[in-house]
Structure 1
């Protein structure tokens, strides 16, 4: 899929967002791969797990795994254009697997000659309120010193009850 440019030499971000939303929601591998240039780079971080894929062969392989998961788990997302530059589209997305709507992410798509040269995706698969016990436990496991420091500062500035507000 080649991305057409508008009158201001910016990509048609609305059409692009609609296309990638549909590709994601329908788990369309070939259509996803067609977005990328042969020499593209994809960097994805999902809940702290980092992947880097260089070249269309590596991207196709990674996308084949990803689209299989999307299909099996019934992923549904809504993508929103956040900003557009001459060669860049930034989108956020919300949604989740099945009926679970706790996922959120941001994508930066860098285009060259109408195709994706670089894709950066940052996703969070289980977003919860900061005061959620599960969120606190996850943060404590991932970064115990930071979690303790944040809790101390919160109590010092807003009181003990502030840790438990919804």
Structure 2
């Protein structure tokens, strides 16, 4: 198992997971000479998402300034304690080529593969002739609790939801 890189931020271990390095790479790419960011700037580059690790109280990134909040990521971006370098293991999506189809031309639907696993068609008979659904009468049963109520409900043969413990 490959252990991810980490750096020290105020004496605490800050692991640089692929998700964190991706966010840091995006921030450096869009704001190359900046180390403090507003909530709007971070959400702008991360599609409206503010990562939890940035706003967490575990690391001192959050600073109140005037009426707003700044997230000071200088220790992480500057490679505090020699830990971070831009260009970590980020995944680049492969573009999907779309073919243009002229209007009025029928496009054949993609067929489902014929070797799809299917559950075997089986039938289960739950009520065999030899299975008893109604239990036998217990000879040593001692009526207690709400026995009379339950007995009257059963005797009336009217539906009445009851929870029996």
Structure 1 length as normaliser, TM-score? 0.21
Q: Determine which structure has the larger strand proportion and give its number.
A: 1
